[in-house]
């Protein structure tokens, strides 16, 4: 299925632009017409992080005339392993401004518009409506569903990508011509089930592989060339070095883009995706301590059993002295090893997984168990600043 170009051609290219884009202009499928369409195109990148970096850089180099950047975060040292649009001297700067400067260094003819705000139901419609195409590089489910729903309700296509460790996925969602994200994933995963990149890690160069698919699809849609990735999901496995293309059908019962949609406006996405499950929230109520409290318990020699519920690779990076490691998924099988006569104290990286694990423990009768708010990150920032934060 080929689709007509998303964008009308600009009136003309300047002499400088003709020189700059000559390697595009001599490709018959792109040629002057396609390059003029790119010049006229307005593309919004949601996020200037792992996927936004290669996407913005290549869209800029390709000559997309207007690039929007929706990003509210600042550049952190731990971003540089994969977010190649930012450099060492950008640490601490606004990511949006850092990305804008990099784009202008690559191509001064690009008009960059910054949206330095967290996308939410109050601003997404106004921001998206200014663009022809959205490229989604977010790494959390709440924003992902927000982007999908806003695009479907506005009738806009968007290019989606996701990355985790060695695995990546990408697709083009355009309800008018194929499925939307909800056709593929009607419900978000249960809170705490799918770790984010911050929790699970990502091979930096994976961003280039998936960002490259996203950028390629964006250029194809804008110029109307080739077979767009509508109704297909690309699945990339870096360890096997394999790409698979899986057919994805529009779900006629889709709550958003189906025949009888029940979602006709934007919803509360934080509540829809949940930060922690109801069980975890209940378990943590009244059973949450601060890292500084844990420190004083340890200093006083309180009889506690300190359990780290993260994964072994995280344990190797940093741990709280005196802890033992039982990854969250293995906890149910190790309940009999936990002492009944001492208070069990759980921690993880940020306090989300430990709250989930706390629900498991409470359910098994460990009524005095508690977990540490902010996890080992709070410990490393409030108690022992010599430890690394990852």
Q: Which residues are catalytic?
A: 197, 348
Using the minimum distance from each CB to Zn ion, give the nearer residue, 187 or 302: 187
- State the residue number with the nearest CB to Zn ion: 254
Pairing of strands 242-247, 232-237: antiparallel
Tell me which stretch binds Zn ion (CB under 5 A): 13-21, 180-188, 198-206, 319-327. 180-188
Tell me which stretch binds Zn ion (CB under 5 A): 100-108, 140-148, 182-190, 342-350. 182-190
Q: What is residue 23's three-state secondary structure?
A: helix
Q: Smallest gap, in angstroms, from Cβ of residue 236 to Zn ion?
A: 23
> Which of 254, 291, 294, 345 is the binder for Zn ion (CB under 5 A)?
254
- Residue 180 touches Zn ion, criterion: CB under 5 A: yes
Pairing of strands 343-347, 370-372: parallel
- Residue 183 touches Zn ion, criterion: CB under 5 A: yes
Q: Give the start-end residues of each E strand in the chain.
A: 42-46, 66-70, 111-115, 133-136, 158-164, 167-173, 232-237, 242-247, 288-289, 304-308, 324-325, 343-347, 370-372
Tell me which stretch binds Zn ion (CB under 5 A): 32-40, 55-63, 254-262, 278-286. 254-262
- Residue 344 touches Zn ion, criterion: CB under 5 A: no
Tell me which stretch binds Zn ion (CB under 5 A): 190-198, 202-210, 246-254, 373-381. 246-254
Please state, in angstroms and rounded to a whole number, the distance separating the CA atoms of residues 104 and 114: 13
- Residue 257 touches Zn ion, criterion: CB under 5 A: yes
Q: Please give the size of the binding site for Zn ion, defined by CB under 5 A.
A: 6
Using the minimum distance from each CB to Zn ion, give the nearer residue, 195 or 261: 261
Please state, in angstroms and rounded to a whole number, the distance separating the CA atoms of residues 331 and 325: 10
Q: Smallest gap, in angstroms, from Cβ of residue 253 to Zn ion?
A: 9
Residues 222-241, interacting with Zn ion (CB under 5 A)? none
Please state, in angstroms and rounded to a whole number, the distance separating the CA atoms of residues 348 and 357: 9
Q: Which residue has the tokens 């934007």?
A: 266
Nearest C-alpha neighbor of 287 from the set 357, 240, 334: 357
Q: Smallest gap, in angstroms, from Cβ of residue 173 to Zn ion?
A: 8
- Residue 182 touches Zn ion, criterion: CB under 5 A: yes
Q: Smallest gap, in angstroms, from Cβ of residue 184 to Zn ion?
A: 8
Q: Give the start-end residues of each E strand in 282-367.
A: 288-289, 304-308, 324-325, 343-347
Q: Smallest gap, in angstroms, from Cβ of residue 230 to Zn ion?
A: 12
Contact predicate 140/196, CB 8 Å: yes
- CA angle (83, 84, 88) in 5-degree steps: 95
Q: Which residues bind Zn ion (CB under 5 A)?
A: 180, 182-183, 254, 256-257
């Amino acid at each position: 299925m080929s689709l007509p170009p998303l964008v009308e051609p600009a009136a003309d290219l300047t002499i400088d632009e003709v020189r700059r884009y000559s390697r595009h202009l001599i490709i018959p499928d792109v040629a002057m017409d396609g390059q003029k369409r790119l010049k006229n195109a307005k593309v919004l990148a949601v996020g200037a992080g792992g996927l936004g970096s290669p996407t913005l850089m290549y869209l800029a180099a390709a000559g997309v005339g207007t690039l929007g950047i929706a990003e509210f975060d600042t550049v952190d040292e731990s971003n540089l392993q994969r977010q190649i649009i930012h450099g060492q001297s950008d640490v601490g700067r606004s990511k949006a401004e850092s990305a804008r400067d990099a784009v202008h260094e690559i191509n001064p003819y690009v008009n960059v518009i910054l949206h330095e705000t967290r996308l939410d139901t109050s601003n997404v419609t106004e921001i998206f409506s200014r663009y022809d195409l959205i490229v989604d590089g977010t790494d959390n489910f709440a924003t992902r569903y927000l982007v999908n729903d806003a695009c479907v309700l506005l009738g806009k296509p968007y290019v989606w990508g996701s990355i985790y460790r060695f695995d990546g996925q990408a697709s083009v969602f355009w309800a008018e011509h194929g499925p939307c994200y909800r056709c593929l994933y009607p419900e978000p995963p249960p809170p705490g089930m799918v770790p984010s990149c911050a929790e699970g890690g990502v091979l930096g160069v994976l961003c280039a592989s998936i960002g490259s698919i996203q950028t390629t699809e964006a250029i194809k849609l804008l110029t109307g060339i080739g077979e767009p990735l509508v109704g297909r999901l690309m699945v990339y496995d870096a360890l096997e070095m394999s790409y698979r293309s899986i057919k994805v059908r529009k779900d006629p019962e889709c709550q958003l883009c189906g025949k009888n949609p029940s979602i006709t406006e934007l919803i509360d996405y934080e509540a829809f995706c949940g930060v922690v499950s109801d069980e975890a929230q209940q378990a943590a109520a009244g059973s949450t301590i601060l890292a500084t409290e844990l420190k004083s318990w340890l200093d006083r020699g309180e009889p506690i059993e300190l359990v780290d519920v993260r994964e072994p690779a995280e344990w190797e990076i940093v741990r709280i002295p005196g802890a033992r490691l039982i990854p969250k998924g293995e906890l149910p099988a190790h309940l009999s090893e936990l002492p009944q006569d001492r208070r069990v104290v759980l921690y993880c990286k940020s306090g989300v997984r430990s709250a989930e694990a706390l629900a498991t423990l409470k359910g098994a009768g460990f009524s005095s168990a508690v977990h540490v708010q902010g996890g080992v990150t709070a410990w490393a920032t409030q108690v022992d600043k010599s430890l690394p934060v990852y």
